Amino acid sequence: LEGYVGFDSITSQIEAKLLKRGFALNIMVVGQTGLGKSTLVNTLFSSHLIESKGRLESHEAVRKTTEIHPVSHLVIENGVKLRLNIVDTPGYGDQVNNDNCWDPIVKYIKDQHSAYLRKELTAMRDRYIADTRIHVCLFFINPTGHGLRPIDVAVMKKLSDVVNVVPVIAKSDSLTLDERDLFKERIRAEMQYNNIRVYPFDNEEYEDEERELNERIRALIPFAVVGSEKQVVIDGKSVRGRKNRYGVINVENENHCEFVYLRNFLTRTHLQDLIETTAHIHYEQFRSKQLLALKE
Ligand code: GDP
Ligand code: MG
């Protein structure tokens, strides 16, 4: 081992440090009122939830979201901490006049970038900047089977300029599996036609493995999800699910819906990439614009 200095141990040091600090993922949910946004969020994080801060939304009747507010959950899996900050937004497009209905949502995202930039510019004092930048925006699509409304296209476009957008088909239990696949194809075609740039994007640095994974994700998107806050009994076992006219849906069963795919995508395969893409692409774009404006 002549000449061995031992700096390769740095990787395990960094890893230990990162694991100790844990990760924070900021998720925003956007879509019409009643599409199951709050339900899905509660479903996503119920399994490993250990602590929740913020307003708890337990009574369905009184929880219609009227303003943008973050709720924070801490989940721990195998000793690794993940802090999930969920930003629920009021349903857009419910008004008679929907002009610029996306403004408050886009403003919220930009405000977080702006706050981060301010902290960065006055930095040095704080070693660690609390990060409220939105890493992923789950965009809920009405399961009509037809396609996107013009307003959805407009909002998706606005959002994809400033944040990682991941579309999901809401309440997909209202479609048969055939209808669901057709609908997914149609949505993908419409997004492409309208030049909507949805996450994940490839980057020169990616390895073949990451490219293949992203290819698979792009073929799956939009995730057809079902959410439920209730337990149902299937084959004598109590699972998170819903009863409907076709039978019983087990939210966690991949043959029933793509909830598990979405969860793996958010908290496993793309967690770090969502965070990095936000910092290196979306935030960087915002930052360079602001700094240019300062110089003028
Ligand atoms: P939000 O306004 O988008 O936050 O919608 P909510 O989460 O409050 O849900 C609105 C209603 O839809 C509630 O009665 C839910 O029980 C119901 N719901 C939520 N998710 C699903 C789903 O995946 N499938 C079906 N069929 N109903 C759902
Ligand atoms: Mg809600």
The residue whose CA is least distant from atom 26 of ligand 1 is 171
pLDDT tens digit sequence for 247-267: 889 999 999 999 999 999 998
pLDDT (mean) for 23-32: 92
> Is-contact 200 214, C-beta < 8 A?
yes
pLDDT tens digit sequence for 45-87: 775 555 555 544 443 434 455 567 788 888 877 777 888 899 9
pLDDT tens digit sequence for 155-165: 999 999 999 99
The preferred substitution site among 39, 62, 251, 260 for testing ligand 1, maximizing ligand atoms within 8 Å of CB, is: 39
Does residue 264 line the site of ligand 1, with CB under 6 A? no
Q: Crossing angle for the helix pair 103-121 and 150-160, nearest 10 degrees?
A: 0
Confirm whether the ipTM is greater than 0.85: yes
End-to-end Cα spacing for the chain: 57
Closest CA to 82 of 137, 21, 27: 21
268 C-alpha to ligand 1 centroid (Å): 25
Query: Residue type at 213?
Result: L
What the block records as the tokens of 280 is 């290196």
Percent of the chain with pLDDT over 90: 51
Closest CA to 133 of 23, 26, 280, 289: 26
60 C-alpha to ligand 1 centroid (Å): 9
DSSP string, 231-261: EEEETTEEEEEEEETTEEEETT-TTT-SHHH
List the beta bridge partners of residue 108: none
DSSP conformation class of 22 = -
DSSP conformation class of 133 = -
- Please state whether 41 falls in left (phi above 0), alpha (psi between -120 and 50) or beta: alpha
Does residue 148 line the site of ligand 1, with CB under 6 A? no
Q: How far apart are CA 183 and CA 219, in angstroms?
A: 13
The residue whose CA is least distant from atom 25 of ligand 1 is 171
Which atom number of ligand 1 is nearest to the Cα of residue 227? 23
Q: How far apart are CA 252 and CA 43, in angstroms?
A: 10
Does residue 143 line the site of ligand 1, with CB under 6 A? no
The per-residue pLDDT of the chain, averaged, comes to: 85
pTM assigned to the model: 0.88
